Structure 1
Amino acid sequence: MSEIHIHKHEVKGKNLAVSILLNLVITIAQVVGGIISGSLSLISDALHNFSDVLSLVFSYVAHKLSRRKASIKNTFGFKRAELIAAFVNASTLVIVAFILIYGAVERFFNPHPIESDLVIWLALLGIIVNGLSVVFLRKDAEHNLNMKSAYFHLLTDMMASVAVLSGGLLMKFFGWFWVDGVMTIAIAIYLIFVGLKLLMESTKMLMLFTPDFIDIKDLVREVHKIPGVNKFHHIHVWHLNDEELHLEAHLDCSEDIRMSEFNNLLREIEQVLFHQFHINHINIQPEFKKDDSKDFIVQD
């Protein structure tokens, strides 16, 4: 196994911890306010916020686990814990969305007046709290799928609060109480859109799929340009986590070379794979006229 070390963005768990505390405060406030005002959109926003609290806690635990060192029993450590957290968080986004839609449809058939002033003030509080949390996690979300799932939970919370605020204003000045249900459905549809996208992304990584940005045939063509390479085959490419992209393959050499010469050839291959395909963990089995399948992809 060869590894090329690259500079990594340091994801800060303390940003998650602060976001957890902020969301816990807004969740409690919105539940109380939703019960008093009778607003379904406010209660739905609180339910979404509570799911965020659980998701953020899960993300925080996964983040801490992923930093543990490898051991004899856990040779990869817990690096994939964050992928599991991202998968669970994405799933909860979709589940919560369908719960909100069910509640909104039921409210359409059983409408009642809503205390709009309380809805407006609590929605403003939600925008401020979730907005701060989004700012805290924005940079980490660009480098880590687990943080990205937490970030989108918070971003959708902020957007939901904006929707609730708009609904509260329309209810206050025009008496359009049906807006509460409409806003709830709008929030839910966005949650489904974001959740399914994250769910697909995390599932592909957990299933060890080849990353979308890598074309195996193009990769083979580039490696075959290197002198000394006869056939690059039996290839697997997968994400261990967001930061580590692994490749294992067999290399049929064009000549019966010494190990020291193979080391030089291996270094050339590593540079091509790293600079052109961003693969930083490489494990290559050398061969010379070995009688085995020479297909690019081989069913083990």
Structure 2
Amino acid sequence: MKHEHANHNHDQGHEHKEEDHSGHHHHTVTGKNLFITIVLNVFITTAQVIGGVVSGSLALLSDALHNFSDVMALFIAWWANKVSAKESSEEKTFGYKRVEIVAALFNAAVLAGIGVYLIVEGVAKLMHPHVIDSDIVIYLALLGIVFNFVSVLLIQKDAKENLNMKAAYLHLLSDTMTSVAVLIGGLGMKYFGAYWIDPLITIAIALYLIFTSFSLIKETTAILMQFSPKGLHVKDIEKSVLAFEEVENLHHVHLWQLNDKEVHLEAHVDFKENLPLSEVTAVIARIEEELEEHFGISHVTLQAEFESADHKELIYTKGCSHV
């Protein structure tokens, strides 16, 4: 006897007892705040590009390039947020819920790429430093600090609830800090004539960009590869399910994240007795409640079995068998 039962209450909030999954609930990203931050960053980018060319400052141009990546990150965040809200269809049963994860990965990868480019340019300039108009650097760095800090405050709340917004938030936060570094460099050039500071700061900015993007690349890649969510362990889930007196075995388990909010589980469940379908349904419903309450698993699909001759491994490794 086989039975499949799925918990479709995706929109219901749930609390995860695992630290890494605490506080996950559906959150609406505010389009107005995103729009304001995009406008601010377009202005900063334009001003710093002009200022960088006029002053001859690579650090200012690198900050402008980073700001341009902010604009791209914020625009993609806005677009992905709109697209991910589209409903599912027969052709796209999961809808577009993963578009935000793809966008977050793209943003992080761009950030890392910019970092590598700036290191190459910074090393070249460090070997051959030249005179720079420090006043322009100082004024535009101050402008960047103020505008980026305002942008950070505008999307800070959204970044806590959404991986894609977290990517955009990291762009803005790191650019606020790089603008501070550019300001310090501008002051050093103005009062001490230390023009070698400009490419040195550029290299420091680049290394920071690569560092901040690495963890996000790792996190989004893990989701796209359908790895088990961080903080959830299949053995713990097995122990919880086997605690039900009607259950003999749990096997063929697949555990993954659809996006940064929804965790899915599918598995086969062996029953000790050949129970009526109504009783099986009730037991599976209780298992689903247990898994959602204790592990934050929002979507559960269980295949009920009795004296089935299939493989009984918890994780079936010979092929990619699905429920």
Report the equivalent of 2:7: 2
Report the equivalent of 2:293: 275
3-state SS, counterpart of residue 3 of structure 1: coil
3-state SS, counterpart of residue 251 of structure 2: strand
Report the equivalent of 1:79: 97
Q: How much does 1:17 deviate? A: 1.8
- Matched length: 300
3-state SS, counterpart of residue 304 of structure 2: strand
Matched residues in 2 for 1:183 and 1:128: separation? Answer: 19
Structure 2 residue 294 is the aligned partner of structure 1 residue 289: no
3-state SS, counterpart of residue 75 of structure 1: coil
Are the counterparts in 2 of residues 141 and 147 from structure 1 also a CA contact under 8 Å?
A: yes
Report the equivalent of 1:138: 156
- Structure 1 stretch 90-99 or stretch 260-269: which is displaced more? 260-269
Match of 2:40 among 22, 41, 65: 22
Matched residues in 2 for 1:170 and 1:292: separation? Answer: 72
Match of 2:268 among 250, 255, 266: 250
Matched residues in 2 for 1:196 and 1:166: separation? Answer: 26
Q: How much does 1:12 deviate? A: 1.8
Report the equivalent of 1:116: 134
Listed one character per residue, the Cα deviations across residues 126-175 of structure 1 (whole Å, up to 9, x for unaligned) are 01111111111111111111010111011111111011011111111111
Structure 2 residue 246 is the aligned partner of structure 1 residue 228: yes
- Structure 1 stretch 189-198 or stretch 25-34: which is displaced more? 189-198
Match of 2:111 among 85, 93, 112: 93
Structure 2 residue 231 is the aligned partner of structure 1 residue 213: yes
Report the equivalent of 1:41: 59
Report the equivalent of 2:75: 57
Matched residues in 2 for 1:236 and 1:11: separation? Answer: 30
Unaligned runs of 5+ in 1: none
Matches within 5 A, 1:101-180: 101-180=119-198
Matched residues in 2 for 1:192 and 1:77: separation? Answer: 32
Matched residues in 2 for 1:228 and 1:33: separation? Answer: 72
Q: How much does 1:287 deviate? A: 0.5
Listed one character per residue, the Cα deviations across residues 110-132 of structure 1 (whole Å, up to 9, x for unaligned) are 21111111111100110111111
- Structure 1 stretch 197-206 or stretch 265-274: which is displaced more? 265-274
Q: How much does 1:72 deviate? A: 1.7
Are the counterparts in 2 of residues 226 and 268 from structure 1 also a CA contact under 8 Å?
A: no
Matched residues in 2 for 1:154 and 1:258: separation? Answer: 58
Are the counterparts in 2 of residues 15 and 137 from structure 1 also a CA contact under 8 Å?
A: yes
Listed one character per residue, the Cα deviations across residues 70-127 of structure 1 (whole Å, up to 9, x for unaligned) are 1122111111000100010010010000011011001012211111111111001101
Structure 1 segments, 4+ long, off by >3 Å, are none
Matched residues in 1 for 2:223 and 2:33: separation? Answer: 25
Are the counterparts in 2 of residues 253 and 287 from structure 1 also a CA contact under 8 Å?
A: yes
3-state SS, counterpart of residue 202 of structure 1: helix
What is the TM-score with the length of structure 2 in the denominator?
0.91
What is the TM-score with the length of structure 1 in the denominator?
0.97
Matched residues in 2 for 1:169 and 1:56: separation? Answer: 30
Q: How much does 1:268 deviate? A: 1.7
Q: How much does 1:55 deviate? A: 2.0
Query: Taking CA–CA contacts closer than 8 Å with sequence separation of 6 or more, which of the two structures ends up with the larger relative contact order?
Result: 2
Structure 2 residue 224 is the aligned partner of structure 1 residue 199: no
Q: How much does 1:8 deviate? A: 2.2
Listed one character per residue, the Cα deviations across residues 44-67 of structure 1 (whole Å, up to 9, x for unaligned) are 100111122122212211111000
3-state SS, counterpart of residue 255 of structure 2: strand
Q: How much does 1:267 deviate? A: 2.0
Matched residues in 1 for 2:46 and 2:58: separation? Answer: 15
